[in-house]
Structure 1
Amino acid sequence: MTTPRTLSLSVLAAATAVVTMAGPALACPPGGDDETRTSEPAVQQDVVSHQIRSVPLPPSAAVKGVRLAATLPDAKGAISLGFLTYGHRTVMYVSGTFGLKTYDVTDPAAPKALGALSMPGMWETEDTEADPRRKLVFMARDPRAFGGNTHTGESGIYIVSLADPAKPVQQAYEKVPAGHTTSCVDGCRYLWTGGPARADWMPADWGGRPVWVTDVQDPRRPRTFPQPIELGRDDGKTDYVHDIQVDATGVTWASGAGGVRGYWTQGRHWDPVRRTTRVARAWDPVPYAGGGVSETAAPSRFMHNSFRPVGSTADEAPGHGDLVYITEEAFNPGCADDGRLVIASLRGSYDGEGWRSTPEEPFRLRTVGTWSVAGQEGSRTDTDDCSAHYFDVHHDLLAQSFYTQGTRLLDVRDPAHPKQVAYYRPADAMSWAPYWHAGYLYVADNNRGIDILRPEVH
C-alpha cells in the first residue's frame, strides 16, 4: 500500500506555472471572488441549551402537500445538515456561514439546540458529511471563506469531533488545494475534496479544481496526497469537480463540469481504461461508468450533484443501478433555461466511454427524463433564480431545492416523466438542500434557517 505524503502547497505551486487570468464563473451564488480580508476567523465553542420554538408559516407562502412542523430561525445561514445517532438519541448537525450547530432531534418535530462551533465567515460548507462511527464532521473551507477569493484564497478541511454533540471540538485543520465540498469515501477513511474555480497558481488550461484525496484514518493527523485525481473529466479537459456521492454498492460518483463519472475505491475490479483487473484505492480509483450529459438536457453541462439508485433498500428510487439522477446548476436570464433535474441512463458507459470522450468525438449519456421548476404550479414569476440544487430521494419521492423557488417534491416512479406532487415556497425562500429523516423533510434554507416539513403525499 502506498503511504500518502503530506502535501506541500509551496512545492506544488512552484512546480506549476503561475497565471493571472481569472477562473470560470462561480457555480454557487451569492458573493464575488474579489473581496479580500486578511484576518483569520475566531473559531470558538458555544454551548446553548434552550429549546427552539416553531415559527408560523408566513401567509405569503405557496404550499401544497406539506405542512410546516417547526422552524429553526437561529440557523439562518444554513447550507447543509446531517444526522448522527447516539444510542436512542438522534442529533442533527447543521453547517453554514456561521460554522457548525447541533440539535437534539430525537423528537423530529421538536428540535432542541445543543451547541455550536462559531466560525463566522465560512463559505459555503455544502454537503457537509460526518463519520457516524467516530462522530466526526468534515467541513470544507472554500477559498472564498473569511474574505478570501478563488484566485489566491486558502482552502482546506476542518475535522470536528462531536463525541459530545453539545460541545463540538475542532480536532484538526488540513490545507488542501481544493475546498468547495469534501466527502467521505471508503467508510470515511478517506476524503475526496473538489472545487471551486481554479486558483491563479494552477495550470491555465484547467477549467476548475479536480479532486484531492486526504487520509483521515488518524483524524488528528490528516495527510493529503500530492497528486490530484479525476482529471480530464470534461471531454479530456481537467475541470471543476463539484460534489461526491457514494452509492449503496460503494461506487463513488464525481459530479461537475462535463458530467458524472463513477469509480470503485476498494476491491479488485476490471479497469476499462487501463484494460486490466486491478485493486482500486481511494487515491488510485478504478473507473466504473458515467460520462457527459447531453447539451439538450443540460446546456451548461455543469452537473452539481448526483445519485445512483441501486434498489438495495426500501428507500431507493426506481432504477436498479442503470439510472443516475443529476442536478444541473445554471443561472441564465429568465427561468426557462436555468438548471434542471436530469435523469440519465448509464447503459453504454460501462466500457470507459466517458474517459475517452473528446470535443471531436464526444460521448454523452442517454437522457431518460428531465424536470424544471419553470412554469410549474407554485412558482414565482418575478425571479431569474430558478436553478436546481441538492435533492434527496425517499421511496418514490424526490425532494429538491430550487433556491428562491423553494422545495419541490417529485413522484419519480416513471423516471421518464417526473411529476410534481407537492411544494413548499415561502416568500423569503432560499432553499439550499432538503433531507429526509423519520418521515419529515428537513430543509436547509439560507434565509430562514431550518424548516421541518411533514409531507402529506405518499
Structure 2
Amino acid sequence: MSRRQGFLAFTIAATMVLAAPVALACDPDHLHGGGHSHAADTPRTSPPTRAVKGVDLVGNVPDAQGAISMQFLDYSGRQVIAVSGEFGVRTYDLADPAKPKLIGELSMPGMWETEDTEVDPKRKLMFLSRDPRAFGGNTNTGESGIYVVDISTPEKPVQLSYAKVPAGHTTSCINDCQYLWTGGPAKSSSMPADWGGRPIWVTDVRDPRNPKVFPDPIELARNDGKTDYVHDVQVDAQGVAWASGRGGVRGYWTQGSHPDPVQGGTREATPTNPVPYAGGGINELAAKSKFMHNSYRPTGDLIYVTEEAFESGCASDGVLVIASLAGSYEGQGWKSTPSDPFRLTTVGTWSVAGQDGSDPNSADCSAHYFDVRDNILVQSFYGQGTRFLDVSDPSNPTQIAYHREADTAAWQPYWHGDYIYVADNNRGIDILKLTAGRAPN
C-alpha cells in the first residue's frame, strides 16, 4: 500500500521500523511496485501543525511505532490488542483501555506489509501477509507468503507455519478463517504480461500448521476484462466477500447454494470457486485512478469504497466513495469491457482536500482504511490524520470532527468500546474519544 507525510518515501528494502520518516502503504500509480516520495511534489512552506476538533487524545502508545494494523481479542473477559507492523507482532493488555500495556512480541524486523491483518478469534490465530518487498525484496525477486501466528497465549506469540503464496500484500479470512484470500501487489516479471497486478490466491488453513495453497488464482479479469491488482477483501455480515482493487469492487458468495448470474443456474459456492453476487467498477468521475483500496457493505444496496491515489498536491488524491449496487446483481460487473463498460452509480463522495483541519501543504491526502459505527464513519487519511464523518445522508457525508497531529501518518482506525484506536505508522497507536455531538452506541 502506501504512506507518508512530509516524511521520507518508502525504500524498497523497508528493513527498519520507521523513525520519523514514513512510507506509504500502497502506491496504485506505481502498482505498489516501489516507493514514491510525495514530499517533493508539494514543497512545504511551513512546518506541520496540530489540528484537533471534537476529539480528545486520551492516550498514545509510542513503542508501537511502525504499526500498520491491529485486532482486538477476548480471553475470557480479558481484552488484548494484537498489533502487526514492520516490527512483526506485538500484544497489549487493555486492562486500562487508555493505556495499553505491552505483554508479548514476535520480532520480525523488516516485515512488510501486514495491512488489515486478520485474526481467527476462536482459534486465536493471526495471519500475516508477507509482501515481496519485505526483508529487502522487490516485486520481481522478493518472496511473498503467509505467516500463521498462534496468539492463544498473548504473552508469547508463536509462529506456527509459513506458506509461500504468489501474492502477499494483504490476506483476508474467508468462511470463518478456515480459508484465506491473498492478493497484491504489482505482478512479478514471471507473471503474464497482460496482468496489471496480482489477483487472489486461496489458502486452506483448516490445519494451521500445514497451510495448503491452491495453485490457480481467482478473481481474474476484474478490470473491464483485464486481470489486475486485487488489493484487499472484506466480508460483510451476510458472508459476501468483497474484493477491492484496480477496476472496482466485486462481491462473491463463498459457501452455500446460490444463483450464478454469470454462468447461469444455481451452484454451490466454495472459497476456490465462489459465486458472483454484485459489484463492478467505480465511476471514473468519482475515482479517477480506478484503484479501490478497501470496502464496507452495510445491509442494502450501498457500498462504501476507498480510492487510494496520490497525485501532485491534494485536490486529486484518493476519496471515499459511496456507491449503489443496484443494477449490478445480474453479473454486469463481470461482463464489463472497455468498449461497453459497466459502472456502479455514485451516491456520494468525500475528500479531505480543503476541509476544516486539513494541512494545505501535506502531500499525503489519500483516503485509506475506515470503520463505521451507527452513522459515524471514522477514516484515516495518512498525513491528514483521522476524520469523523456523519454518513446518515450517504449523498452528503459531513465531517463532524478530526484529529491530526503534526507528525501523523494515520493508516487505520478502529472503534472499540468508548474509544477509537488508530494505527499510526509514525506515532504508534493513538487512542481517541469522540466528543463532538452524540457518540455512536
TM above 0.5, one fold?
A: yes
- 302, 309, 319: which one pairs with 1:340? 319
> How far has the Cα of 1:214 moved from its partner?
0.2
- 369, 373, 378: which one pairs with 1:390? 369
Tell whether the 8 Å contact from 1:142 to 1:155 is kept in structure 2 after alignment.
Answer: yes
Confirm or deny that 1:363 pairs with 2:342.
Answer: yes
Q: Distance in 2 between matches of 1:454 and 1:371?
A: 22
> How far has the Cα of 1:36 moved from its partner?
9.6
> What is the TM-score normalised by the length of structure 1?
0.86
Superposition map of 1:40-59 within 5 A? none
Confirm or deny that 1:453 pairs with 2:436.
Answer: no
> How far has the Cα of 1:60 moved from its partner?
4.1
Deviation string for 1:275-297 (max 9, x for gaps)?
11000000000000000000000
Equivalent residue, structure 1, for 2:405: 426
Deviation string for 1:401-445 (max 9, x for gaps)?
000000000000000000000000000000000000002000000
> How far has the Cα of 1:107 moved from its partner?
2.9
Equivalent residue, structure 2, for 1:91: 80
Superposition map of 1:69-148 within 5 A? 69-148=58-137
Tell whether the 8 Å contact from 1:179 to 1:193 is kept in structure 2 after alignment.
Answer: yes
Q: Distance in 2 between matches of 1:390 and 1:340?
A: 11
Q: Distance in 2 between matches of 1:383 and 1:66?
A: 21
Q: Distance in 1 between matches of 2:173 and 2:190?
A: 27
The CA RMSD measured in Å over matched residues stands at 1.3
Q: Distance in 2 between matches of 1:80 and 1:215?
A: 23
- 277, 283, 289: which one pairs with 1:294? 283
- 406, 409, 416: which one pairs with 2:385? 406
The AA in structure 2 aligned to 1:380 is: D
Tell whether the 8 Å contact from 2:61 to 2:99 is kept in structure 1 after alignment.
Answer: no
Q: Distance in 2 between matches of 1:84 and 1:272?
A: 38
> How far has the Cα of 1:351 moved from its partner?
0.2
- 250, 254, 262: which one pairs with 1:261? 250
Q: Distance in 2 between matches of 1:201 and 1:152?
A: 10
Q: Distance in 2 between matches of 1:77 and 1:62?
A: 22
Q: Distance in 1 between matches of 2:96 and 2:235?
A: 28
Tell whether the 8 Å contact from 1:209 to 1:240 is kept in structure 2 after alignment.
Answer: yes
> What is the TM-score normalised by the length of structure 2?
0.89
Equivalent residue, structure 1, for 2:259: 270
Tell whether the 8 Å contact from 1:210 to 1:239 is kept in structure 2 after alignment.
Answer: yes
1:73–1:246 distance in 2 versus 1, CA, 3 Å: same
Gaps of 5+ in 1: 1-25, 38-58, 311-320
Confirm or deny that 1:325 pairs with 2:325.
Answer: no
Tell whether the 8 Å contact from 1:27 to 1:330 is kept in structure 2 after alignment.
Answer: no
The AA in structure 2 aligned to 1:173 is: Y
Tell whether the 8 Å contact from 1:138 to 1:157 is kept in structure 2 after alignment.
Answer: yes
> How far has the Cα of 1:448 moved from its partner?
0.2
Equivalent residue, structure 1, for 2:422: 443
Aligned residues with identical type, % of pairs: 67
Confirm or deny that 1:217 pairs with 2:206.
Answer: yes
Equivalent residue, structure 1, for 2:358: 379
- 149, 158, 161: which one pairs with 1:169? 158
What SS class does the counterpart of residue 208 from structure 1 fall into?
coil
What SS class does the counterpart of residue 74 from structure 1 fall into?
helix
The AA in structure 1 aligned to 2:125 is: L
Q: Distance in 1 between matches of 2:324 and 2:143?
A: 38
> How far has the Cα of 1:143 moved from its partner?
0.3
Q: What is the number of equivalent residue pairs in this alignment?
A: 401
What SS class does the counterpart of residue 328 from structure 2 fall into?
coil
> How far has the Cα of 1:28 moved from its partner?
5.8
- 61, 65, 68: which one pairs with 2:54? 65
Equivalent residue, structure 2, for 1:51: none
What SS class does the counterpart of residue 160 from structure 1 fall into?
strand
Q: Distance in 2 between matches of 1:60 and 1:365?
A: 38
Tell whether the 8 Å contact from 1:36 to 1:149 is kept in structure 2 after alignment.
Answer: no
Confirm or deny that 1:249 pairs with 2:238.
Answer: yes
Tell whether the 8 Å contact from 2:3 to 2:382 is kept in structure 1 after alignment.
Answer: no
Tell whether the 8 Å contact from 1:326 to 1:342 is kept in structure 2 after alignment.
Answer: yes
Deviation string for 1:236-258 (max 9, x for gaps)?
00000000000000000000000
Equivalent residue, structure 2, for 1:354: 333
Tell whether the 8 Å contact from 2:14 to 2:110 is kept in structure 1 after alignment.
Answer: no
